[in-house]
Every structure is written in structure tokens, then in C-alpha cells.
Amino acid sequence: MPVINRYIAKNNGNSLFRNNRLESETLLLLSRAKAENYTLPKAVDIIHVNTLLKKLFTSDILSLTDCLLNMAYNDTDISNFSLINWKNPWSITNLITHSSDWDNVSWNSGGGIKTPNTLETTAPDGSNTACKFDDTDASLSPGTTSKTDIFSNSTAITYSIYVKGGTALSRVFLLRNITTATNFTSGTFNCATGAISGGGWTSTSVGDGWYRLQYTKTTGISIGDQLQIYYGRLSGATVGATDTWYLWHPQLEDRSTSSPKFVETTSSPIYGNGISSKHGGLVYTEHGYEGNGVDGYIDTHFNPAITGIRYTLNDAGMSLVLYKGTGGSIVSGNFGATGGNLMTNDISITQRINQGNINSGNIDFFGIGLMSLNRNSATEIYGINKDVQTIQPVNSTSLFDSSLVLLERNGNYSTNGISIGLIGASISYEKAQNFRAYFNEYLKKIGLTPIA
């Protein structure tokens, strides 16, 4: 049953949905939220979301966007829903290369035998795409079943994998930080019962003897660290000469939980930004998210150099509506770094977009409302503060290669409050004013003050 039909049934056949056709973009947004088991907005507010999306689409604003985060719903129960990227809600990361190609040499069998696409069992989706691991002869020279060509793009990482027991009594799974030479907590999977022991590990039955294992680590990992996953045996483990087990759909994501959808990769990871992640003591209000000035920030998972489509070197924009302005960082580049893209809630020469650490003349982003920093040429940038535009000459240097974060810069955390953010191509002054009008109308409909 389509997601919206399920939603209508849950709400006793609410006629709002029959009288207001939902756009495909709205349906995708709802389907991701339902798959993640997020609380949805009230029915009438979904209609307001749909109306706003329709206006952004018909005005060509949505087509210029790579990442759109609306955090304002006048409902403090939907903090998770507010972090879904309206433009591409099903964009998901998998840092593991060759995630379906078990025949690739990067999948170490530890001296045993691996049989990709085994016919001995079907995978959870009914296909013959699982891989059988067999420890026959591995006891002669046991090694680890592990994969090492993985690099972190986040400080929060979740490892998930499907496993089915064969003749083995148990199998061991582990996430390791090679850069810091740190083994995180291992999980010992009981092949007979499907249970897994080890702090932080979970096991969920998906039928026919298959279980999805998951482990999340939010400390001890830095961006750029090399990681290693183990999927059956650790170094020095006792090896049964005929132990067998089956694996399917390994995934390593840049968030604190696993996604409901598997991402197939080849020789390179796939980076997604369908859901932003919140960190530290953020405060979620009816107006959106605000920092606590101590440790709260949002990682958009949008990396201009990797996930940018409309965002390019000389055609790029970052726009936010602030409901609370207290100075300090609004948008910055790499978490904990000083360089790269930057927007601050003040009058500053350091408003930067694709210009490295080069400053320009002052651009005023003081106060609340729409703050939009844009570049539509190689030689200048322009800022829009509500209805005031300022143009400053400054050359572009490079496309920033790191995830953009909100409310943090170089270890300094702000207390600003953000209602909505758009990242993508530059938006003109005219489109910025149209966006203000559309968003103000939306805010009024959901019972909030129109502050854009």
C-alpha cells in the first residue's frame, strides 16, 4: 500500500489527502520518514509542506537545490523528520567499496573459501546474491575475515551486515580504527539463536535464519580515519575446519543508525545526504534547531566536491532563515576546521564561498530572517540579508571538499536558531524574495511568525 494511503488509513480517512493531491517530492519525503519510523507532521501540516514544495518547484528554486532542510513545523515531536533532505530524501551513504562484489580481492576470506552468489541459500530478498564463507583449510593458517579500504567521512559511524549461520557455532564481528590502532567492542553472534553479545551490538531477525547486525560508534573516530570491518573471525581465533556462514549487504554509514535501504557500490564509496545528523546538545523548538553554545551542531553530510550537482565552483549558494540571531557561525566547512566556506551572523569580511581563506569586503548577515551567500562568477560573491543585497569582489579558488556543518566552526559553537536551509546553485535576488514570500506564507499557515 502506498505510504500516503497507509497514512490516510491511520488518520481515519482524513479527507485532506483526497482533496489535495500530494506531489511526488512530498511522497518521497514521507516514504523515507515512514521507513525510518519517524513521527510524521500532522495531516494539515503535510498539506502545507506539499504546498511549499509545489511553489519551490514551479518557481525553479527546488531545481537549483542539492540540499533542503526545513526544520520549522511548530511541532516539537518531529525533530527527526526535520532533518530529512527534501530534495533527495533517499540519498544514503555506504563507505564500503564493492559492497555486492564478494569476489573482489578486498574481501579477505582469512584463508578459508568464499563462494559469492552461493546457491545453497537465498538472501533475504529471495535472490542468490549472498556469499558463503567456509573455513575448510583455514585452520592451517588462520587469518582474519576483514576489509580495510574504508575511510571515514564522519565522527559517527554505523556498521551493519546481514548474517546467517551455517555449521559454525558463532561468528565475531568488529569495527576497528586503523588510524588510531583501536578495536571497538566486538560482537559475538550465536548462529543457533541469532543473539549477539557485545556492548552496542544489536541483532534483528529478518526471516529464514537471517539476521541484520548493527553497531554504532559516535566517539573515537575522526574524519579521514582509515577503518576496518571484521565479519566472522578475528586474528588468532580458533578455527573450526568445517565452519560455514553466509553474509549479505554490508554497509557503513555516516550516521548513528542504519538505513532501511542498501546502497550498492563499486570501486568508490557512495556518499549520501538524505538525512542530516544532529550532535551534542542541540535544542529543537517549534521554529527549528538552535545551538547550545557548548557542543551542539548539525552535519548536513553535503560535501560540495562529492555530492554537489547544482552546487559548482562558480555557481553556488548557501541560504538559511534564522529565527534566532546571536552572532557566531551559521554555516561552516569541515567540522572543527578554520578554513573553507563560512557564514557568520554578523557584519564580516569572512563570509566565504568557494574562496578558501580569502576574505572579501563586508557582507552583513546580522539579525534574523533570510541570509543568503552566493557566487555566480569567478570574480565576485553576493550576500542577501532579507531584501538587502551586497556584492563584493573576491576570486574563487577551489570547490570545498568537506561536509558542511551548521552552528559550529573550529570548535566554537553558536546559539543561533535555524528554521530552513538551502544549499545548491546560486539564487538570484528575485528568487530570494520569492522564497521569502513562500516560506513566510508557510510559517503563517502552521501558526508561526513569518520572519523570513
Do residues 207 and 338 share a domain? no
Q: What is the pLDDT of residues 293-338, one digit of tens each?
A: 999 999 999 998 888 999 999 999 999 999 999 887 787 766 655 6
Q: State whether 277 and 423 are in the same domain.
A: yes
In a domain, 452, yes or no: no
Examine residue 262 and state whether it is found in any structural domain, yes or no: no
Q: Please report the pLDDT score of residue 374 as a whole number.
A: 97
What pLDDT is stored for residue 414 in this prediction? 92
Name the burial class of residue 43, with classes exposed (0-12), middle (13-18) and buried (19+) by CB atoms within 10 angstroms of its CB. Answer: middle
Residue 91's H or E segment, with its range, is: none
Read off the C-alpha cell for 315: 555557481
* Domain-terminating residue out of 253, 284, 299: 253
Q: Give the number of other Cβ atoms within 10 Å of residue 311's Cβ.
A: 28
Q: How far apart are CA 132 and CA 246, in angstroms?
A: 5
Say which CATH number the domain at 13 has. Answer: 2.60.120
What is the reported pLDDT for 13? Answer: 46
Residue 60 DSSP code: T
106 located within any domain: no
Co-location of 211 and 315 in the same domain: no
Q: What share of the chain is helix, strand, coil (3-state, %, to 5)?
A: 15, 35, 50
Distances from the Cα of 4 to the Cα of 1, 8, 24, 79, 88, angstroms? 8, 6, 11, 20, 18
Indicate if 357 and 298 belong to the same structural domain: yes
DSSP tag of 23: P
Under-50 pLDDT residues of the chain: 1-13
Q: Are residues 439 and 334 in the same domain?
A: yes
Report, in angstroms and rounded to the nearest whole number, the Rg of the chain calculated over CA atoms. Answer: 24
Say whether both 125 and 41 belong to one domain.
no
| Cβ burial 244-260 (10 Å sphere, 16+ → b, else e) | bbbbbbbbbbbbebbbe
242 and 298 housed in the same domain: no
Q: Residue type at 230?
A: Y
| pTM (predicted TM-score) | 0.88
pLDDT of residue 141: 56
Q: Where are the alpha helices (DSSP H) in 103-180?
A: none
Residue range(s) defining the domain that contains residue 125: 113-253
pLDDT at 336: 57
> Is residue 108 in some structural domain?
no
For residue 158, tell me if it sits in a domain. yes
Give me the pLDDT at residue 3, please: 46
Is residue 313 located within the same domain as residue 375? yes
pLDDT at 397: 93
Q: Which three cell numbers stand for residue 359?
A: 576574505
Handedness of CA 311, 312, 315, 321 (dihedral sign): positive
Residues 6+ apart with CB under 8 A from 63: 57, 310
Q: Are residues 369 and 430 in the same domain?
A: yes
Tell me whether residue 34 is exposed, middle or buried, using C-beta atoms within 10 angstroms of its C-beta: 0 to 12, 13 to 18, 19 or more: middle
Query: What per-residue confidence (pLDDT) applies to 2?
Result: 42
Note whether 203 and 235 are same-domain residues: yes
Domain annotation covers residue 102: no
**181 and 75 housed in the same domain:** no
d(CA 16, CA 19) in angstroms, rounded, equals 5
C-alpha cell at 267: 570501486
Is residue 38 assigned to a domain?
Answer: yes
Tell me if 26 is assigned to some domain.
Answer: yes
Per the CB < 8 A criterion, the answer to whether 158 and 253 are in contact is yes
- Total count of domains within the chain: 2
Q: Which amino acid is at 147?
A: K
133 phi and psi, to 5 degrees?
-110, 135
- Rounded distance between C-alpha atoms, residue 72 and residue 288, angstroms: 5
Which secondary-structure segment (H or E) carries 363?
Answer: strand 363-364
- Indicate if 74 and 26 belong to the same structural domain: yes
